[in-house]
Amino acid sequence: MNFIQQGFAWIFDPVRWSGPGDIPSRILEQLGYTFGAVAIAAAIAIPLGLLIGHTGKGRDVAVALSGGLRALPSLGLLIIFALAIGIGFKAPLLAFVILAIPPVLSGAYAGVEAVDKRTVDAARAMGMTEWQVLTKVEVPLGAPLIVAGIRSGILQVVATATLAYFASGGALGVFINDGLVTRDYNELLGASILVTALALVLEGIFALLQRLIVPRGVTAGQIAEVRSRPTRSRPTVGSPIQEGK
Amino acid sequence: MIEFTAVTKQFSDGTVAVDEFSLVIPARQTTVLVGSSGSGKTTLLRMINRMVEKTSGEIEIDGESIYKLNPVKLRRSIGYVMQNSGLLPHRKVVDNVATVPLLNGVKRADARQAALALLDTVGLDRALADRYPSQLSGGQQQRVGVARGLAADPNILLMDEPFGAVDPIVRAELQQELVRIQRDLGKTIVFVTHDIDEAFLLGDQVVLLEKGGRIAQAGTPAEILSKPANDFVATFIGADRGRRALKVEVVNGRNVVVDADGRPTGVLQS
């Protein structure tokens, strides 16, 4: 318990809240990597995922690709990029983009695939163009899973962004490394708490966002179903329901 | 008028759903395609709005080949009602009904007004307009589906077993409603079902299909009942089981119609 208190004491020491390399600027760097990498990953993976989900083509390739990318060790990737393009923020950003692509990609195609095929068929039979089927039906109905993919990507990157210091890329990993090197365990612990808190806050925000993005009609149905279906089936009695009256 | 000429559909797995099918579907009447599963009736229906593409043959609407038209434009000019209503779950009832007019560029307020009027046509309370499909009963959803099919005021309405998934009481209600709507609007309706009683009830022309879209018999319900073309037709319409062989017996001075087992089905009015 003492350790934890000292960790918090390290965080709340006013010295760390101003000047170059202070906690706010490190947090901003951490968030910058997170949102930057996920934004780039989303720009690549969401159109690709929507295309795969809509056409049903290339699904096997996407599964294999995202599985393969997931297996890559982030640290190894980071070092390779740092050696290739030099230290700074670019190498870690690139590594984190690759880390974020698999969850975003699978969220996007799973979201579109999960939409009831009969609904899609009806939309097409009404005379929607393929683009309208995608934007007016598949994306709104698949949105919860698409956002879940982004959420998962953000969570992975915000935790992994601590590795950026390996390429002199800043972020909260700097404190962790300093703590390790100087055997300042308060600093080590304090920085770890910060990373954890950051991840939890983002997770909370996105969990909320994911709930908000579920189309109204879909939730309305779920609630109606809970109300209209008794847990034990009742014997049918009385007169039939007057349809539409 | 819709005309099929030697239309064949072979699916990519090799099954021939429809083989050299020819039929004329007259305008402003209800034509019912009836058959068991595998008879190709839904495939035929979906070929009219090009949801299924032909392998060979020709389909014309009012003398014009549908293959010269853009499929999207073609579909917007044809109403389509499917079994499970196919409503968009994330849109309110009124927006679902207005789907096609909105796609055609009708102003939102106008489309909404027209959609509300259509709810009256199909016998739905306007109070349901702002509900979501999942908040309606199956029968109500089906009515919304019919309203949506009618929204762009198409000449042709395709109905793919629209009343197949609702209970018998609601089905009977919806069938009567459709008879009434058709009397008022006079659309060219192509209706697919596996229920021969529904076919006889709704169809001006009934087309009985065997496997592979072969026409076993086509004609008015009276023609088919009075002269089944073969054993398949007789079995399908229930003539061989005596279901259609009704007799008149005099009970209490009135003519009571009974079936082959002597069970009464109604009273003859003179």
- Cα–chain-centroid distance for residue B13? 28
Residues in contact with A195: Cβ distance below 8 Å, sequence separation at least 6, in sequence order? A30, A158, A159, A162, A172, A176
Nearest to A216 among B100, B128, B132 (CB): B132
Q: Choose the mutation target among B73, B134, B163 for the interface with A, i.e. most A CBs under 10 Å.
A: B134
Backbone CA torsion sign across A149, A141, A221, A204:
positive
* Segment A217-243 mean pLDDT: 48
Give the residue, A4 or B171, on which the prediction is more confident.
B171
Whether A37 and A93 have beta carbons less than 8 Å apart is answered as: yes
**Which residue(s) pair with B258 in the sheet?**
B247, B264
Phi, psi of B194 (to 5 degrees): -110, 5
Name the pLDDT band for A1 (thresholds 50, 70, 90). low
Residue A231 has pLDDT above 80, yes or no: no
Nearest to B88 among A123, A127, A221 (CB): A123
Mean pLDDT computed over every residue of chain A: 85
Give the residue, B260 or B205, on which the prediction is more confident.
B205
Residue type, A58: G
**What is the reported pLDDT for A220?**
55
Nearest to A126 among B75, B92, B131 (CB): B75
Residues in contact with A119: Cβ distance below 8 Å, sequence separation at least 6, in sequence order? A137, A141, B86, B87, B88, B89
Phi, psi of B70 (to 5 degrees): -70, 125
pTM: 0.84
Residue A244 and residue B124: Cβ atoms within 8 Å?
yes
DSSP A215: -
Whether B205 and B225 have beta carbons less than 8 Å apart is answered as: no
Name the pLDDT band for A234 (thresholds 50, 70, 90). very low
Identify all chain B residues contacting A242, using CB atoms and an 8 Å cutoff: none
Identify all chain B residues contacting A127, using CB atoms and an 8 Å cutoff: 72-77, 100, 103
**How many percent of chain A have pLDDT more than 70?**
89
Residue B134 and residue A224: Cβ atoms within 8 Å?
yes
Q: What is the rounded CA–CA span in Å between residue B41 and residue B9?
A: 12
The secondary structure of chain B in percent helix, strand, coil, rounded to multiples of 5, reads 40, 25, 35
* Segment A75-102 mean pLDDT: 90
Kindly report the nearest CA distance between residue B18 and chain A, in angstroms: 20
Residue A121 has pLDDT above 90, yes or no: yes
Mean pLDDT computed over every residue of chain B: 92
- Each residue of A127-148: pLDDT tens digit? 999 999 999 999 999 999 999 9
Could you tell me which chain A residue has the CA closest to the CA of B71?
Answer: A127
The secondary structure of chain A in percent helix, strand, coil, rounded to multiples of 5, reads 80, 0, 20
Buried b (16+ CB within 10 A) or exposed e, B223-239: ebbeebeeeebbebbeb
Residue B100 and residue A127: Cβ atoms within 8 Å?
yes
* Segment A35-47 mean pLDDT: 96
Could you tell me which chain B residue has the CA closest to the CA of A215?
Answer: B90
The β-bridge relationship of strands B64-65 and B16-25 is unpaired
Residue B243 has pLDDT above 60, yes or no: yes
Whether A190 and A11 have beta carbons less than 8 Å apart is answered as: yes
Q: What is the rounded CA–CA span in Å between residue A160 and residue A238?
A: 62
Residue A221 has pLDDT above 50, yes or no: no
Residue A126 and residue B137: Cβ atoms within 8 Å?
no
DSSP A235: P
Residue A224 has pLDDT above 60, yes or no: no
Residues in contact with B113: Cβ distance below 8 Å, sequence separation at least 6, in sequence order? none
**What is the reported pLDDT for A225?**
40
Residue A240 has pLDDT above 60, yes or no: no
The β-bridge relationship of strands B264-267 and B56-61 is unpaired
Burial of residue B12, with CB atoms counted within 10 A of its CB: 0-12 exposed, 13-18 middle, 19 or more buried:
exposed
**How many percent of chain B have pLDDT more than 70?**
100
Phi, psi of A156 (to 5 degrees): -65, -40
Kindly report the nearest CA distance between residue A228 and chain B, in angstroms: 10
* Segment A90-94 mean pLDDT: 90
Q: What is the rounded CA–CA span in Å between residue A143 and residue A138?
A: 8
Residue B203 has pLDDT above 80, yes or no: yes
Q: What is the rounded CA–CA span in Å between residue A191 and residue B215?
A: 78
- Each residue of B252-264: pLDDT tens digit? 888 898 888 888 8
Residue A229 has pLDDT above 60, yes or no: no
Most confident of A54-63, A158-167, B181-190: B181-190
- Each residue of B96-107: pLDDT tens digit? 999 999 999 999
* Coil/strand/helix, residue B2: strand
Backbone CA torsion sign across A209, A212, A215, A219:
positive
Residue B148 and residue A224: Cβ atoms within 8 Å?
no
**What is the reported pLDDT for A219?**
65
Nearest to B170 among A124, A221, A243 (CB): A243
Residue A221 and residue B103: Cβ atoms within 8 Å?
no
- The pair of structure tokens assigned to A115 is 């939409």
Name the pLDDT band for B92 (thresholds 50, 70, 90). very high
Residues in contact with A214: Cβ distance below 8 Å, sequence separation at least 6, in sequence order? A143, A144
Identify all chain A residues contacting B174, using CB atoms and an 8 Å cutoff: 243
Q: Which residues of B touch A (CB under 8 A)?
A: 46, 49, 51, 72-77, 80, 82, 84-92, 99-100, 103, 122-125, 128, 131-135, 137, 139-140, 143, 148, 167, 169-170, 173-174
Residue A119 and residue B89: Cβ atoms within 8 Å?
yes
In sequence order, what DSSP letters do the residues of A96-146 get, joined into one string?
Answer: HHHHHHHHHHHHHHHHHHTS-HHHHHHHHHHT--HHHIIIIIIHHHHHHHH
Cα–Cα distances in Å, from B175 out to A190, B35, B146, B159?
72, 18, 12, 12
Whether B124 and B143 have beta carbons less than 8 Å apart is answered as: yes
Give the residue, B129 or A225, on which the prediction is more confident.
B129
- Each residue of B35-71: pLDDT tens digit? 988 899 999 999 999 999 999 999 999 999 999 999 9
Could you tell me which chain A residue has the CA closest to the CA of B172?
Answer: A243
**What is the reported pLDDT for A213?**
85
**What is the reported pLDDT for A165?**
85
- The pair of structure tokens assigned to A171 is 């972020």
Name the pLDDT band for A243 (thresholds 50, 70, 90). very low
Name the pLDDT band for A166 (thresholds 50, 70, 90). confident
Name the pLDDT band for B82 (thresholds 50, 70, 90). very high
* Segment A168-187 mean pLDDT: 87
**What is the reported pLDDT for B260?**
80
- Residue ranges with strand state E in B127-269: 156-160, 188-193, 205-210, 214-219, 247-251, 254-258, 264-267
Residue A233 has pLDDT above 60, yes or no: no
Phi, psi of B118 (to 5 degrees): -65, -30
Give the residue, A226 or A7, on which the prediction is more confident.
A7
- Each residue of B113-168: pLDDT tens digit? 999 999 999 999 999 999 999 999 999 999 999 999 999 999 999 999 999 888 99
**What is the reported pLDDT for A117?**
92
- Each residue of A15-25: pLDDT tens digit? 888 878 888 88
Residue B174 and residue A140: Cβ atoms within 8 Å?
no
